[in-house]
Every structure is written in structure tokens, then in C-alpha cells.
Amino acid sequence: MNYTISSNELENVHVNKTSIIVDVELSRFSRELLTFAAVVTVIIMVAGVIGNLLTILALIKCPKIRNVASTFIMSLCVADFIFCLFVLPFSSSRFIHGGWIHGPLLCTLFPFLRYGNIGVSLLSIAMITINRYVMIAHYSSYNRIYKTKYIAVMIVLCWSLSYGMILPTLFGIWGKFGKDMKLGTCSIIPDENGRSAKTPLFIIAFLIPCIAICCCYARIFWVVRSSELRIRKHAVDQYCVANNEGNQQLNKKKEEIKLLKVRRNEWRITQMVLVIFLSYLFCYLPITIVKVTDKDVKYPGIINL
């Protein structure tokens, strides 16, 4: 007796095979570990939504704290707010259910929104750092560089570059967004031609901003340290001769002291941004290195958690 298999039956066989692959990969993680990851994700989500929302409202409601840096901080908060509100719920769901259950459309939009907002956050931190660098190291040029129209262009560039780099992947031109069967999650996967934008994007979008931030902080440290040493070395002489030359020298030193105070005040804000950057680096550097080097997913725990 001959039997024929319909196309629907073949499709069901393929689906079942896929499910088996996913279950095998997800079986590497214990139920306790997935539950812990889900709880931590929910805590971060709630804290992030509330914290970023309060910061945005404070920046809007309080004119006294509005300045150039606060504009970039607001861009950072908006990106993080969107990330916590729309990305982390799906991440926690993946840990709870042991895989992706929200269909192919959201499986495409989820990584697009995730990677786009991560890029905006890092570029916003870079813009804040560069702003601090110009304020401290090139104070005389600050007002000329940070005009309202230029600030708007910088913020637009942060968002357009972050999402523009992954638009080819969204449309399947250079890799594509979809379900990674080795991880049981939605990410950047190779397209039909075997091309993937994952490695170039992680290197360009992560490495270049980090190098720029580190260079700015190195220069800021040097400028602040040099200014303090110069002021100490050329302290105002209490017994300065009261003549024209002496008065000019005294006025010059007063200006240097005033500039040093400005730099110290700006340095406090810069230290806060440095803490944010180091926290960001601590969270994303390990996973970035693993995603670039671990193409066969030998360490899925790091990538998933």
C-alpha cells in the first residue's frame, strides 16, 4: 500500500523538529535560573520605568536644571524608558515561558527596538561625555558649538544613526531579525545568503563610541589635573606689589581661579556620567564580546542572561 504525505503534514514535521531543537537548547538552563532571571528582569523593568519617567518629568518641570547636558540626559532617559517599557517585558516572558511565544512579527520588532535603543543610549552617553569635554577643555568655544540648532541636530543624529544602521537588517538586506534556534530568542540571524550584520554592528556601534568616551575622559582627567597643579604652582602672592603689572597679574590669576571652579563644578557632573558609562560597560561588554566571538553559542548562558 502506498502512502502520500501532504504539504501540511510536512510543515507539521518541520515545526515539531524546530520545537525539539529549541527545547534541547533551552534545557541547558535550570528552571530556577530562568525564574531568577525573570524576577531580576522585572525588577529592573519597574525601576527603570519609574526612574527614567521621574527624571524626564523633573527635567521638563524644573527650568533651573535645564542646560545642554540635561538635553542629552533626557534623550538617554527616553531611550532607556522605551527599552524598559517595551523590551524588558518580552525578555522576562522569554525566561518565564522558556522561549519565544509571541509570534514572528514581534520576533522581528523586538530585536529591532532592543538594539536600536541600546545604540541610542550609548550614543547619548557619548554626546554627554563630549559635552563635558568641551565644557572643561575648550570652555571658550562652548557657546559657539552648543547652539540650540546644533544640539537638535546632535540628538537627531543619535537616534537616526542607531536605528539607521539596523534598517538593512530589518528589511532583510544585510542579515535579518528572527528566531535564533540555538538560543530560543529573537536576534540578528543570517539571511538566505548566509550574511549577518551581527559582528560588524556590535563592533562599530559599541567599540567606536566606547573609544571616543574613553579618549574624552582621558583628556578631561589631564585638563583638570593640569589646572589644579597650575593654580597651586602660581598661587596668588599675598604680598603682591600694588602696581599696574601686579594688578594685571592678580586679575589674571583670579580668572584662572574662577575657571578652575567652573571646571570643578562641571567635573562633578562628569563623574556622574562616568559612573553611568562604567555601569553600561559592565553590563554590555561581556555579552558583546561573547556575541562577536562565540558564533557557535558555546556559552549560551552569558548571551541569554
Residues 125 and 213: beta-carbon distance below 8 Å: yes
What is the overall mean pLDDT for the chain? 77
More confident residue, 175 or 16: 175
Helices (H), the chain: 7-26, 31-61, 68-82, 88-97, 103-137, 142-145, 148-164, 167-170, 198-202, 208-233, 244-293, 300-304
Residue 69 above 90 pLDDT? no
- For the CA atoms of 143, 70, 112, 300, what is the dihedral angle to 10 degrees? 110
Confidence of residue 47 (pLDDT cuts 50, 70, 90): very high
Rounded to whole angstroms, the maximal C-alpha distance in the chain is 118
Strand partners, 185: 180
Predicted confidence at residue 110, as pLDDT, reads 94
Predicted confidence at residue 65, as pLDDT, reads 77
For the chain, percent of residues with pLDDT exceeding 90: 32
What is the rounded CA–CA span in Å between residue 132 and residue 267? 8
What is the rounded CA–CA span in Å between residue 269 and residue 298? 41
pLDDT tens track for 181-210: 776 678 888 888 888 888 888 778 888 888
Specify the range with the lowest mean pLDDT, choosing from 28-37, 128-137, 232-241.
232-241
Predicted confidence at residue 114, as pLDDT, reads 92
Residue 41 above 90 pLDDT? yes
Residue 158 above 70 pLDDT? yes
Most confident of 110-119, 218-227, 288-297: 110-119
Burial 177-190 (b: 16+ CB within 10 A, else e): bbbbebbbbbbbbe
Cell of 128: 554627554
Residues 183 and 300: beta-carbon distance below 8 Å: yes
- Domains in the chain: ranges and CATH: 8-304 (1.20.1070.10)
Predicted confidence at residue 79, as pLDDT, reads 95
What is the rounded CA–CA span in Å between residue 82 and residue 164? 17
Confidence of residue 257 (pLDDT cuts 50, 70, 90): low
Predicted confidence at residue 13, as pLDDT, reads 38
**CA distances (Å), 212 to each of 139, 239, 277, in order?**
19, 45, 12
pLDDT tens track for 274-283: 787 787 777 7
More confident residue, 214 or 105: 105
Specify the range with the lowest mean pLDDT, choosing from 1-5, 34-38, 154-158.
1-5
Contacts of 178 (CB under 8 A, 6+ apart): 104, 107, 108, 186, 187, 189
Residue type, 267: W
Predicted confidence at residue 230, as pLDDT, reads 66
Average pLDDT of the residues in 149-154: 94
What is the rounded CA–CA span in Å between residue 47 and residue 235? 48
Contacts of 163 (CB under 8 A, 6+ apart): 112, 116, 119, 120
More confident residue, 53 or 5: 53
What is the rounded CA–CA span in Å between residue 126 and residue 18? 41
